[in-house]
Structure 1
Amino acid sequence: MEVNANQKIYLPVDGILELFNSLTGHHESDITQSAALITPLPQHPKVSNIPKTSMGIIKTVKGRLKQQDKRAASPCRSSSSGNRQVSTDRLPKRSVDLLELGLTKRRNCLRIVVLGAPKVGKTNILHRFLGKDFEEHYEPTVEDFHRKLFHIGGEAYQIDLLDAASERDFPAKRRLSILTGDTFLLVFSLDDRESFNEVCERLNEIKDARAKLLNLKHPTRVPVVICGNKADVTAPRAVRRSEVAEILGEDVAYFETSAKDGTGMDGVFRALATLGGLPGETSPSRHQLISILSYQSMCIGPRGRRGSRGLVAPCAAVDTLARRPSFTSDLRLVLRSSTKHNKPERCQIQ
């Protein structure tokens, strides 16, 4: 029996049938032909009677067989080569939060809250930012939370995107998401007047919520980008650019976009970065997309240590394991922020 390429270990014939049974799960009848090649002894001793050295080898082999079974049962992911398969045991085991790991500063982390009516293209706009393809088939979004990690000019950055679609009918939950947002992306469809009216309502809601959080007497200006999507649609427009400026104000960052062909997308992402105090290289057209494993080796390094901080070309990776923090965590974040500004007894979410 070979354990590796350099060493051969010979086990006694005694107990060989029990060894095969313990390793492969075969019954004695399944290996009758193989057993016929071995001169049987009058009586087979129990496996426990095999010498300790042999038992150690048996355990090692059995452990390796179990590992092989797990790898065979695990789904594989195709690499860029097209033929080679990468086992999922090489993928990250948990989400990467640069702030929690102490690998970046709070000012380098941004949460963007995305709001808007259904079917206006919010999901495909986020797909553009994440480097994914446009999806023609519409599926209602329950809630999406995405995280994209950047390495720009030797610094690490983190952008979290929350598509709070499921909170449309739950004002208290929506208000909590608004209070945790750093910047906001409000999306409507150019061929749907009602979706524009909803954006106007959400903008006023954001202003009111932020004013109460900061204990201001009047609504304040908020870091928001308005996106009139579906500019590629040939149907008559229900909302004109002049109306947007008249209703929302000239100083609002407004873009007419098409998530399908990419029109205006770069301007939207640059505006969000500017409002959030992040580099313009966070826009998808200005950085290279790499795997999360490559990003970890570059920025995190082995054993969670800070990796290379040299000047390299701007790059980014999508953290596919990122999940939205619990509502309890978000509430604590809001309470800390409220205490920092006002020192109230409690923060009203309703």
Structure 2
Amino acid sequence: MKGRHQFKRRFSLQPSSFLHREDSTAHHRTNIRNDTESSSSSSGEGGGHDSRHKIVVMGSPRVGKSSIIQRFLFNNFSTKYKPTIEEMFHEDFSMNGVHLKLDILDSSGTNEFPAMRALSISSADAFILVYAIDDAASFEEVRIIRDQIFETKASSSSAIPIVVVGNKTDLPDDQRQVPYDTTESVVQVDWENGF
């Protein structure tokens, strides 16, 4: 994994509408397959600057992992809840001469299959850990997942890109169970991860 990704500790996930609006040369091609085929790396060196990255989106059930992915890739949102076992999305992006091939894994929110979670972690290049601001237990689950990531990837000599996302921020303040200031401090200062 050393030298495979260009991300340090932070990276931005901009919605597809932003990509189309901001850079007319950027293209966002939808190429979806509902399978779990393994990703192969393109050469990130030499001409073309193509690179492939596997991003795993993890968190408790019902925190909005699938909704975030659907909004990012397809700019749509559904209010219907459908539990996810595991779903892989393959997307190509081109911005400023850099071509990215992303394999985005929408993981199950349950830990019924610990071996599946461990495999997802060991094969990933970056992580998006999602919690819901109206569910304090979901932030504790993010802590557990983050610890498992570091245990699984302990032999990695490079930094592990992790972004923590507090979801459902459109809910009224009286429903918030996870204080913003506390989580921001824990994630950015203590963990040194993106928030």
1:206 match: 149
> Which residue pairs with 1:224 in the alignment?
162
In 1: Cα distance, 2:183 partner to 2:59 partner: 15
Q: Is the aligned partner of 1:105 residue 2:36?
A: no
- Contact 2:187–2:194 (CA<8 Å) still a contact in 1? no
Q: Larger RCO: Structure 1 or Structure 2 (Cα < 8 Å, ≥ 6 residues apart)?
A: 2
CA contact (8 A) 1:167 1:174 kept: no
How far residue 249 of structure 1 moved from its aligned partner, in angstroms, is 4.6
Corresponding letter in the other structure for 1:238: Q
Indicate the residue corresponding to 2:120 in structure 1: 177
Matched, 1:238 2:177: yes
Deviation at residue 186 of structure 1 after TM alignment: 0.2
Cα separation, 1, equivalents of 2:123 and 2:40: 17
Alignment match, 1:64:
none
CA contact 2:58–2:109 (8 Å) conserved in 1 = no
Q: 1:206 to 1:101 in 2, by over 3 A?
A: closer
Q: Structure 1 residues 167 and 177, CA, compared in 2 at 3 Å: closer, same or farther?
A: farther
- Letter of the structure 1 residue corresponding to residue 103 of structure 2: D
The aligned counterpart of 1:120 is 63
Aligned-pair distance for 1:154?
Answer: 4.3
Shift of 1:182: 0.6
Whether the 8 Å CA contact 1:207–1:221 is kept in 2: the answer is no
Give the number of aligned pairs: 154
* SS of equivalent to 1:125: helix
What is the aligned-residue RMSD (CA, Å)?
2.9
Gaps of 5+ in 1: 1-91, 255-350
Match of 1:5 in 2: none
Q: Secondary structure at the match of 2:146?
A: helix
Secondary structure in 1 matching 2:148: helix
- Could you say if the C-alpha distance between residues 167 and 111 of structure 1 is closer, same or farther in structure 2, counting changes exceeding 3 Å? farther
Q: Which amino acid aligns with 1:174?
A: R
- Shift of the alpha carbon at 1:232? 0.3
Shift of 1:247: 3.6
Partner of 1:61: none
Measured after TM superposition, the shift of residue 126 of structure 1 is 0.2
1 CA distance for matches of 2:109 and 2:168? 22
Shift of 1:245: 3.6
Higher strand share: 2
Distance 1:205 1:120, change over 3 A: same
Structure 2 contact 163–194 (Cα < 8 Å) conserved = yes
Query: CA shift at 1:243, angstroms?
Result: 1.8
Change over 3 Å in CA distance of 1:100–1:201 after alignment to 2: closer
Larger radius of gyration: 1
CA contact 1:196–1:239 (8 Å) conserved in 2: yes
Classify the secondary structure of the residue corresponding to 2:178: coil
| Contact 1:167–1:173 under 8 Å retained in 2 | no
Are the counterparts in 2 of residues 148 and 158 from structure 1 also a CA contact under 8 Å? yes
87, 91, 101: which one aligns with 1:144: 87
Deviating 4+ runs (over 4 angstroms):
99-102
**How far does residue 208 in structure 1 lie from its aligned partner after superposition?**
1.2
Conservation of the 8 A alpha-carbon contact between 1:191 and 1:238: yes
- Unaligned stretches of 5+ residues in structure 2: 1-30
Change (3 A) 1:236 1:153: closer
1:105 Cα offset (Å):
3.0
